[in-house]
Structure 1
């Protein structure tokens, strides 16, 4: 009987020894570890507000920012001398239609010596050069021309980045407003939200203004017509100006002479004062 169970006891003993060697003597049973998220403070007094001086660190991997295209603002000023203002206006209108431009402001001035028509023209950025060339060739003599280009890409990028950050802060403040526990915190958070909304409106308005100036260039066009002099011998040119100068010189001399004559009471009074003074002096000597 003992011989039958002896091999079984030996097998069981060997198996138990192997298990005891694999498990450490002071091993403790595994404990489930629970993960907890630290809740943000509920009030501003507990530093609930984000630090706006620091850049926002997104939890997810940052997306690659889209490259902003070049922002170039083109402006120009031209002054043309023309023979007929009305005829030139018709030519200007035809040129504007061809280049999809329009007149933003118009001002006309009529004087004794000339007529002036000042136009503020807005034209799509891509048609600006063609418009300037059309005005430079064929409708009058160019008296002056000034074209400038202003690169505002850096300003546009800076405003866009700040605007994106303000929108993120705005969402954070709105989340905090929903979890605010005191009236004081709610009022302070609402004031912060109002300030951010105003700053966002200003930034969006600035971006819209830049986009408008970039998409539509501005040209200040002046049309100038010199009037013919009233003199029969007067003609536009040196002879006309020489004759006008002689006439103006004679008129100035006549005006000066008349001005002197207008002082005739003083001319009568001065000799009388001299006569009285001499008479008084001679009487005093006697």
Structure 2
């Protein structure tokens, strides 16, 4: 009889322990799939592509949304145009900018002894970039320099888009896990991972917006300048200017020599005294 009671008690303990284990397994099952266990602190979530391959078996994130990305070409240009009249040239440039649906990003004016110039930074719709360059080349003035560059950023744009889409999918998984968090510690760790992913998503979205802006609107730096006629006040080539410069340099050299001699005044006092003392000593000898 005593043996039966002992066996029944052991069976009851084993049954209760199994029930408790099943309960914890059910609550934390969703966390095991995504949250890597650590003795102290949850590690930063691995890159989205890694997670898709390793932590969610059987699920493949396909970049279907990025398969149809069109070519992303960034065009930039620089032009230098010599003009007979700076104000007239500026008016023509403003008209061309308006006709090509472009806009002026910045304008800088500079007036020197040799020239007057205006430096313009123009943002142009990519489809009008070649047309506006041709318009500036005809009828504004003499083109002194022109540079056009094209950069293909399709690969970078596609790569950022794929990673962004994976991060968004991974973020949704964390948000679902947050609803079923078993403890405050798990909740805080999941929230920290959500915050990190949201920051990475913001950076990726900002990069895509920047690329789209540079692709949709090309950048053209235009320099308009007018050479000034040389005068006696600005020219340093004539004989009169060189003669005057020589006189000034001679006077400056004389003043420098005189000031150099004055700087030796201690020697002019001490050396005669030493000579006088030496002669007096020799007479006594």
TM-score under structure 1 length normalisation = 0.72
Tell me how far 1:258 sits from its aligned partner.
Answer: 1.5
Structure 2: gaps (5+ residues): 1-24, 37-45
* Counterpart residue number, 1:195: 196
Q: Displacement of 1:160 after TM fit?
A: 0.2
Distance 1:247 1:183, change over 3 A: farther
Partner Cα separation in structure 1 for residue 164 and residue 248 of structure 2: 68
Give the direction of change, closer, same or farther, for the CA distance of 1:128–1:269 in structure 2 (3 Å limit). Answer: closer
Pairwise CA RMSD: 3.3
Say whether residues 1:251 and 2:206 are aligned partners. no
- Find the partner of 1:41 among 28, 36, 41: 28
Gaps of at least 5 residues in structure 1 are: 1-37, 235-239
Q: CA deviation at 1:143?
A: 2.0
Q: Greater CA radius of gyration, 1 or 2?
A: 1
Contact 1:114 1:227 in 2 (8 A): yes
Task: Show CA shifts across 1:218-268 (max 9, x none).
Answer: 001111112223339x9xxxxx7853xx34422331221110232435568
- Structure 1 residue runs of 4 or more that deviate by more than 4 Å after TM superposition: 56-65, 265-270, 272-286
Does the Cα contact within 8 Å between 2:83 and 2:89 map onto a contact in 1? yes
CA contact (8 A) 2:52 2:60 kept: no
DSSP-derived class of the 2:209 partner: helix
Q: Structure 1: how far apart are the matches of 2:74 and 2:209? A: 13
How far did residue 47 of structure 1 move?
A: 5.2
C-alpha separation in 1, matches of 2:71 and 2:183? 48
Between Structure 1 and Structure 2, the one with more helix by share is 2
- How many residues align structurally? 240
Q: CA deviation at 1:112?
A: 2.6
Secondary structure of 2:187's counterpart equals helix
The whole-number CA distance in structure 2 between the counterparts of 1:254 and 1:134 is 52
Distance 2:225 2:94 in 1: 17
